[in-house]
Amino acid sequence: MVSCHVERPLDDAAWDRFDRLQRRRPGGFDVIALMRPPDAEHGEAEEPWLERARAAAARVPFGLHTHWTSPTHARPTNGDPAARVRREAEWMRERGLEPRYFCGGGWYTDEAVRATVAELGLVDCTSRRGEPSPGVLPTTHSLGSLARAVLRPLPHYVHAYFHDYDLLDARRRYALVASLAVLGRRAEKI
Ligand SMILES: [Zn+2]
């Protein structure tokens, strides 16, 4: 499986690249958008965000990617991390968006966050290793490690991720699309 951490949902260039990639389905993969709600404290407006999130969620199940501190600082610096996850999932649901996956920003998690994610019925993608288990689909490969992995015998389970801004770099974009094409030919999708 393949997911994208949408770090800059209101950046037109990054969104345009992501939108095109998701519609193109490289390698035949549904690219899951993992998104954080707009951050009003940091001047992000709700309307354009909603339009984009709804477009992404209409194509493929989507997910919540909580940034606890700010758009550019993912990990928590204060407050109650689990409460924020619950607030953000509820915020999405109130607007008709139904997140199905969760990935903690900066790969952060703790016991209360894990319990909240499970209680909200989200599939947790925060773990960086291991096999899928009920409610858990670890994120195993970065763009770089995916590019190397597709040249060798494939592991049993691959969940690749990238960032929307990776798509702004032509070399990284090409590497991703080429790797997914190879992976798509070789893999059974889940
Ligand atoms: Zn992030």
pLDDT tens column, 11-56 = 999 999 999 999 999 999 999 999 999 999 999 999 999 999 999 9
Give the contacts of 157 (CB within 8 A, at least 6 positions apart): 131, 132, 138, 140
Query: Ligand 1 mean position to 24 CA, how many Å?
Result: 23
Residues with CB under 5 A from ligand 1 (ion): 5, 7, 74, 105
Query: Ligand 1 mean position to 43 CA, how many Å?
Result: 17
Query: Ligand 1 mean position to 29 CA, how many Å?
Result: 21
Query: Ligand 1 mean position to 141 CA, how many Å?
Result: 15
Question: Angle at Cα 99 formed by Cα 11 and Cα 115, nearest 5°?
Answer: 120
From the candidate CATH numbers 3.30.450.20, 2.170.190.11, 3.40.50.2300, 3.20.20.370, the one assigned to the domain spanning 2-186: 3.20.20.370
Query: Ligand 1 mean position to 183 CA, how many Å?
Result: 24
3-state secondary structure of 51: helix
Query: Ligand 1 mean position to 102 CA, how many Å?
Result: 11
Query: Ligand 1 mean position to 96 CA, how many Å?
Result: 22
Residue 32, H or E segment: strand 31-35
Query: Ligand 1 mean position to 81 CA, how many Å?
Result: 15
pLDDT higher for 154 or 81? 81
Q: Which residues of 136-166 are buried (b: 16+ CB within 10 A; e: fewer)?
A: bbbbbbbbeebbebbeeeeeeebbbbbbbbb
- What are the residue ranges spanned by the domains of the chain? 2-186
pLDDT grade, residue 158 (50/70/90)?
Answer: very high
pLDDT grade, residue 159 (50/70/90)?
Answer: very high
pLDDT of residue 150: 93
Instruction: Record the pTM.
Output: 0.95
Query: Ligand 1 mean position to 184 CA, how many Å?
Result: 25
DSSP bridge partners of 123 = 101
Query: Ligand 1 mean position to 4 CA, how many Å?
Result: 9
Query: Ligand 1 mean position to 128 CA, how many Å?
Result: 14
